């Protein structure tokens, strides 16, 4: 063939190929193999895919047979009134009984008791997340994508089971798994204080992007499941990563732990 | 307004990037596009028809023409057509199409093919 296509045009063609073809074409040459596995190419391909009209308005449908623990997930086109099945989402055999936490950018987060996985059906690979703390009780999950850090996160809020009314209510445990960091985000694994039907945990915010941080209290109302921010009194605090919320004397408090001493600040609440 | 380069091409007689045959295919596209812009189904049918009459290798010439003329819609259309034409083709076909050669160490390619055997299902015969 006499005319070869310029590189930028070849890229334009490659961005329009489905993932299955790209996986196969990794075998074309070494340079294509490294190109298709580079995060720059993957991000561009994803951005293009997400902007295609044929890829918008897709629904994930789960169906299961009564008396069976196996889940079937399908991708259907919401634009089409007839609910024609577009695609079966294949799960690896051993996770077919897992429950879906959520899906973002074609990634699926699934769990079963204490095992959590992230599954990418387009490339048919999955990773097992490290085990969170073991407990008995109710749990809530979320799976999301943070575009600022290009990071995927799985959040678990665990509500330990209270055996009887006289037992002190145990605070819920919030755990976050970050795909980039590979570990639980530290602040969130501190137990959160529980007061007046809401969970309160210490967080930080940057006054200006990239600038100094200040503590704040994030409050999650368990009844209406809404987050609120509680503003703190105008006192300056010496910086530390070890900040906990607690209930002291019936009031919500923030405890700041430093190496040599513990300083506490009491925030009056309601 | 889309064709500032076209006048330049016609003035430049030594141009061998775009042949007459191709000019007749690329140039009517904007009018066709405007007429059926709103209707995706119709555009798909037009694309299918175009694909029937043109071999994939010919498409690379069309792409070069559209690229040279800086005609974004035609470029997008042709790239999509090529992508659709090659998505189910074999590794060898794609190598020939883009003029590439395998530069893997012996055994490396087999290892990759084995790891992703599922991606080779349903591939067209060469």
This model of the complex carries an ipTM of: 0.72
Confidence of residue B56 (pLDDT cuts 50, 70, 90): low
User: Residue B113 belongs to what domain range?
Assistant: 88-126
pLDDT score, position B90: 95
- CA B40 to chain centroid, in Å, comes to 19
Contacts of residue A4 in chain B, CB cutoff 8 Å? 60, 98-99
pLDDT score, position A27: 95
Q: Is the pLDDT of residue B57 over 80?
A: no
Please, what is the average pLDDT of chain A? 78
Q: How far is CA B20 from CA A38, A248, B13, B24, B62, in A?
A: 40, 85, 12, 6, 11
Do B70 and B80 lie in a common domain?
yes
- Cα separation, A221 vs A198, in Å, equals 4
Structural domains of chain B, count: 2
CB pairs under 8 A between A and B: 79
| Residue B102 sits at the chain A interface (C-beta within 8 Å) | yes
Q: Is the pLDDT of residue A18 over 90?
A: yes
Do B69 and B92 lie in a common domain?
no
Q: Is the pLDDT of residue A124 over 80?
A: yes
pLDDT score, position A208: 66
Do B8 and B67 lie in a common domain?
yes
Contacts of A199 (CB under 8 A, 6+ apart): A157, A171, A172, A174, A192, A193, A219, A220, A222
Tokens linked to A157:
């809020």
Lowest pLDDT segment from A128-137, B1-10, B59-68, B87-96: B1-10
Lowest pLDDT segment from A38-47, A225-234, B35-44, B45-54: B35-44
Asked if B119's CB is within 8 angstroms of A24's CB, the reply is: yes
Lowest pLDDT segment from A4-8, A243-247, B39-43: B39-43
Asked if B112's CB is within 8 angstroms of A26's CB, the reply is: yes
Q: Is the pLDDT of residue A31 over 80?
A: yes
Contacts of residue A16 in chain B, CB cutoff 8 Å? 79-80, 83
No. of helices (H) and no. of strands (E), chain A: 4, 17
Residues of chain A above pLDDT 90, percent: 20
Average pLDDT over residues B26-46: 58
Do B75 and B101 lie in a common domain?
no
Confidence of residue A101 (pLDDT cuts 50, 70, 90): confident
Minimum Cα–Cα distance from A2: chain B residue:
B99
Residue A217 φ/ψ, nearest 5 degrees: -115, 125
Residue A194 and residue A248 in contact, taking contact as beta carbons nearer than 8 Å: no
Confidence of residue A207 (pLDDT cuts 50, 70, 90): low
Do B61 and B11 lie in a common domain?
yes
Do B17 and B35 lie in a common domain?
yes
Residue A262 and residue A256 in contact, taking contact as beta carbons nearer than 8 Å: yes
Q: Is the pLDDT of residue A19 over 90?
A: yes
Do B33 and B81 lie in a common domain?
yes
Contacts of residue B63 in chain A, CB cutoff 8 Å? 5, 9
Confidence of residue B89 (pLDDT cuts 50, 70, 90): very high
- Cα separation, B87 vs B84, in Å, equals 5
Lowest pLDDT segment from A39-43, A62-66, A182-186, A229-233: A182-186
pLDDT score, position B38: 45
Which of A212, A200, A208 lies closest to A243, judged by CA?
A200
Which residue in the block uniquely carries the two structure tokens 């889309």?
A: B2
Contacts of B75 (CB under 8 A, 6+ apart): A9, A12, B63, B66, B67
Do B25 and B58 lie in a common domain?
yes
Q: How far is CA B107 from CA A15, A23, A30, B114, in A?
A: 28, 18, 13, 11
What CATH number corresponds to the domain at position B51? 3.30.710.10
Q: Is the pLDDT higher at A191 or at A208?
A: A208
Q: Is the pLDDT of residue A193 over 60?
A: yes
Minimum Cα–Cα distance from A125: chain B residue:
B116
Do B17 and B67 lie in a common domain?
yes
No. of helices (H) and no. of strands (E), chain B: 8, 0
Of A10, A21, A29, the CB nearest to B101: A29
Q: Is the pLDDT higher at B4 or at A11?
A: A11
Do B76 and B37 lie in a common domain?
yes
Average pLDDT over residues A93-104: 84
Do B18 and B61 lie in a common domain?
yes
Q: Is the pLDDT higher at A171 or at B121?
A: B121
Do B51 and B109 lie in a common domain?
no
Q: Is the pLDDT of residue B58 over 80?
A: no
The three-state (H, E, C) secondary structure of A43-103, written as one string? HHHHHHHHHCHHHCCEEEEEEECCCCCCEEEEEEECCCCCCCEEEEECCCHHHCCCEEEEE
Task: Indicate the pTM of the whole model.
Answer: 0.68
């Amino acid at each position: 063939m006499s005319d070869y296509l310029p590189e930028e045009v070849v890229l334009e063609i490659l961005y329009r190929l489905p993932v299955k073809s790209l996986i196969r074409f990794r075998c074309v040459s070494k340079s294509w193999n490294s190109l298709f596995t580079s995060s720059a190419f993957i991000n561009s391909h994803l951005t293009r895919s997400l902007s295609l009209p044929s890829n918008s308005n897709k629904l994930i449908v789960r169906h299961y047979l009564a008396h069976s623990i196996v889940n079937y997930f399908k991708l259907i086109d919401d634009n089409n009134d007839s609910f024609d099945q577009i695609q079966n989402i294949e799960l690896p055999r051993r996770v077919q009984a897992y429950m879906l936490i959520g899906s973002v950018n074609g990634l699926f987060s699934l769990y079963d008791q204490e095992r959590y996985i992230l599954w990418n059906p387009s490339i048919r690979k999955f990773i097992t997340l490290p085990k969170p703390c073991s407990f008995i009780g109710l749990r809530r999950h979320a799976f999301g994508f943070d575009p600022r850090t290009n990071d995927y996160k799985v959040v678990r809020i665990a509500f330990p089971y209270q055996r009887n009314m006289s037992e002190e209510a145990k605070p819920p445990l919030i755990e976050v798994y970050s795909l980039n960091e590979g570990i639980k985000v530290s602040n969130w694994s501190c137990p959160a204080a529980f007061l007046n039907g809401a969970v309160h945990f210490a967080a930080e915010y940057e006054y200006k992007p990239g600038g100094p941080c200040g503590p704040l209290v994030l409050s999650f109302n368990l009844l209406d499941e809404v987050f609120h921010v509680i503003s703190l009194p105008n006192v300056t605090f010496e910086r530390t990563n070890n900040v906990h919320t607690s209930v002291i004397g019936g009031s919500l408090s923030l405890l700041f732990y430093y190496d040599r001493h513990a300083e506490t600040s009491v925030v009056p609440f309601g | 307004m889309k064709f500032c380069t076209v006048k330049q091409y016609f003035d430049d007689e030594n141009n061998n990037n775009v042949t007459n045959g191709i000019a007749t295919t690329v140039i009517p596209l904007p009018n066709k596009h405007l007429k059926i812009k709103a209707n995706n189904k119709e555009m798909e049918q037009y694309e299918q028809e175009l694909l029937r009459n043109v071999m994939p290798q010919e498409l690379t010439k069309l792409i070069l023409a559209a690229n040279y003329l800086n005609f974004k819609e035609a470029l997008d259309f042709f790239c999509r057509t090529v992508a659709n034409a090659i998505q189910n083709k074999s590794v060898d076909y794609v190598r020939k199409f883009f003029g590439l050669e395998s530069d893997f160490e012996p055994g490396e390619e087999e290892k990759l093919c084995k790891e992703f055997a599922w991606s080779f299902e349903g591939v067209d015969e060469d």
